[in-house]
Amino acid sequence: MRVLICHDAGAAARRTADILCDAVAARPAAVLGLATGGTMEPVYAVLRDRLADGSLDLTATTTFNLDEYVGLQGDHPQSYRATMDRLLFDAAGLPRDRTHLPDGAAPDVAAEAVRYDAAIAAAGGIDLQLLGIGGNGHIGFNEPTSSLGSRTRVKTLTAETRNANARFFGTDEAAPRFAITMGIATILESRACVLLATGPGKAAAIAAAIEGPLSAACPASALQLHPNATMVLDPAAAADLRLRDYYETVHPGGGEALL
């Protein structure tokens, strides 16, 4: 696992955007796994800037988002479909049928989850998966105790996750209780993944994910099994790491390893 501790949250978002841009430069038809959440918004802002100045071209890529709320139509402003249109897809100019999210309004959401895993496989699998992390260690919406062998399926959100997401919904509107999420095994099949975490609210989860035991109690600890996982952190999210000095020696300023 590569642990990159950047100078601040802005540098961490740019580092994450750089990793995605490098993957697309290496393979213009890359299959990208995307994430939503507040942490990712600055990453998409960097990508929009690069699309605008012509240094990034996403038109040949295919994308699969991690998750979608159950019960929200794609045109609901807080659906992850609408969020991704706003944050990236409208600017990226790739055909809509190559931007995939689970359909949270499908009549049979269990079948939709199975279909989604099959669609990822049919696209050849994910080249690079972006991830955030919940304060409870979730990745996607794989809440603590999710099977480390799980596939895409419906998960009940914890009260903590619903409270964290309530900020995106109106005061008269309840945050959704269920989501379709890629499973942990689905995420582990990506050929590379990069997790971005910023702020003190993520420090405990990051320490558990990187240095804690491999455990369903912290779903992000499953990334310890991934052969090509990168954790991009700001100093606040890295604050509880016992081996922080070591990571900073290997990757000064969150840059490439000195060999």
What 8-state DSSP symbol labels residue 116?
Answer: H
Fill in the per-residue mask, 68 to 97: x = in contact with ligand F6R (CB under 6 A), - = not in contact. Answer: ------------------------------
Token pair 């794989």 is found at 142
Binding residue for ligand F6R, selected from 3, 6, 31, 39, defined by CB under 6 A: 39
Residues in a beta bridge with 62: 31
67 is catalytic: yes
Token pair 């490098």 is found at 22
Using CB under 6 A as the binding rule, the residues of this chain from 117 to 136 that contact ligand F6R are 132-134
CA torsion through residues 139, 143, 148, 154, sign:
negative
Residues in a beta bridge with 33: 64, 129
If the CB atoms of residues 36 and 63 are measured against ligand F6R, the closer one turns out to be 36
Beta strands in 66-205 (DSSP E): 67-69, 99-100, 128-131, 153-156, 178-181, 193-197
CB 221 within 8 A of CB 215: yes
CB 74 to ligand F6R: min, Å: 15
d(CA 131, CA 194): 6
CB 8 to ligand F6R: min, Å: 16
Binding residue for ligand F6R, selected from 14, 15, 138, 226, defined by CB under 6 A: 138
CB 28 to ligand F6R: min, Å: 25
H or E stretch at 248: helix 244-250
CB 103 to ligand F6R: min, Å: 15
Active-site position among 67, 103, 127, 189: 67
By the criterion CB under 6 A, which residues form the site for ligand F6R?
35-39, 66-67, 132-134, 138-140
Which residues are catalytically annotated?
67, 136, 138, 143
